[in-house]
Amino acid sequence: MDINTIASLINAKVVGKNFEVTGMATLADAKPSEISFLSNSKYAKTLQSTKAGAVIVDENSQKYLPENCVALVVKHPYWEMAVLSEYFSTPIEDDNLEDAQIAQSAKIAPEAVIAKGAKIGENCRIMANSYIGNNVEIGDNTIIYPNVTVYKECKIGKNCIIHANSVIGGDGFGFATSNMGEHKKIYQNGNVVLEDDIEIGSCTTIDRAAFGSTLIKQGVRIDNLVQIGHNCVIGEYSVIVSQAGISGSTEMGRNVVMGGQSATAGHLTIAPFSTMAARSGVTKSIKESGKTFAGFPLMNHRAWLKLQGKLARLIK
C-alpha cells in the first residue's frame, strides 16, 4: 500500500513524497519503509527521533517531524491509525498458505486443528481440541494440553508446556475512542513469542502485540488465570502466580516474582530479581533490583508491614 492510498483511506493531507509502505509500527520501532503515528499530541517532541518513513500527525505536531519524513495530516491521528490498522491485518484464517509442516515424531490428536503454514517440531504433543493458527511455530518437545488456542503467527519455543484452555496470542485490548465515546478497534498485528523451557498454567491469556511482539523469555513460570497484556516483556525465569495481571507494555527483568492477584500498571519497567507480595499493585517503575514490595500503591515490604501495624493500632 502506498502513501497516497493510505491518505485516501484516512482522509489525510500528504506533505512529502509518495512511497510504498511495508508496515505500521510505533515511533520508536518504525523503519524508513514503515508508517507510524502520534498517539497523543503531548508527546509531539518524540517525533524528532523517529526513523519512520511517514507519520500520521495532527496539524500542530507536524512541525516536529524529521526532515524527509512524510506527514499524513489528520484531525485525530490515533483514531485514523485504528482505521488504518485493519488494512495492515492478515486474514484470520488463510487457506492459501502451504500445508502445515509437522515433524514425524510429533503426536497430534486427531481432534486438534493445525492451520495452514504452521510448523510443529519433533516430539511435540498437541492434544485434543486445541487450535494452532496459521504460521504458528512450535519448537521440539513442547506439550499443548487440550482446548488451548494459539492464534496465528505466534512462536512457541522448545520444551514448553501450555496447560488446558489457555489462549496465546488473542488480540490485545486496543481501541481508539471518539469524542462521542464510540470505539474503533486497533487491529493487533503483532504476535506472541515464547522462548524455550516455559510452563504456562490453565485458563491463562497472553495477548498478542499491537505492533511487534509480546515476549515471554526463557524459563518463565506462569500459573493459572493470569493475564499478560499486549507488548509486555517477561524476563527470564520470572514467576507469575495465579490471577496476577500484567498491563500492556510493561517490561520486567529476569527472576521477577509477581504474587497471586498482584498487578502492574502499563508501560512500566521492573528491575530483575524484584519480588511482589500477593495483591501488590505496581504503580511505578522499579529501578533497583532485588527488593521485595507489597501493597497498592506499591511500597517496600517492610513499610507495608509497618503500615499494617499502624492501622491495627488505629482501631484499638
Nearest-angstrom CA–CA distance, 16 and 264: 41
> Residue 312 CA to chain centroid, in angstroms?
41
Instruction: Give the shortest CB-69-to-its own copies separation in angstroms.
Output: 32
Signed CA dihedral, 196, 212, 99, 147: sign only = positive
Cell 503483532 appears where?
Answer: 190
Instruction: Give the shortest CB-201-to-its own copies separation in angstroms.
Output: 6
Nearest-angstrom CA–CA distance, 57 and 73: 5
Please say which residue, 51 or 221, places its beta carbon nearer to its own copies.
221
Please say which residue, 288 or 314, places its beta carbon nearer to its own copies.
314
Instruction: Give the shortest CB-183-to-its own copies separation in angstroms.
Output: 6
Radius of gyration of the chain (CA): 22
Residues in the chain: 316
Please say which residue, 103 or 161, places its beta carbon nearer to its own copies.
161
How many other CB atoms are found less than 10 A from the CB of residue 108? 20
Please say which residue, 53 or 295, places its beta carbon nearer to its own copies.
295
Identify whether the C-beta of residue 165 lies closer than 8 Å to the C-beta of residue 183. no
Catalytic residue among 76, 183, 230, 301: 230
| 183 carries an active-site annotation | no
Residue type at 139 in one-letter notation: G
Instruction: Give the shortest CB-44-to-its own copies separation in angstroms.
Output: 26
Nearest-angstrom CA–CA distance, 91 and 100: 17
Residue positions annotated with a catalytic role: 230
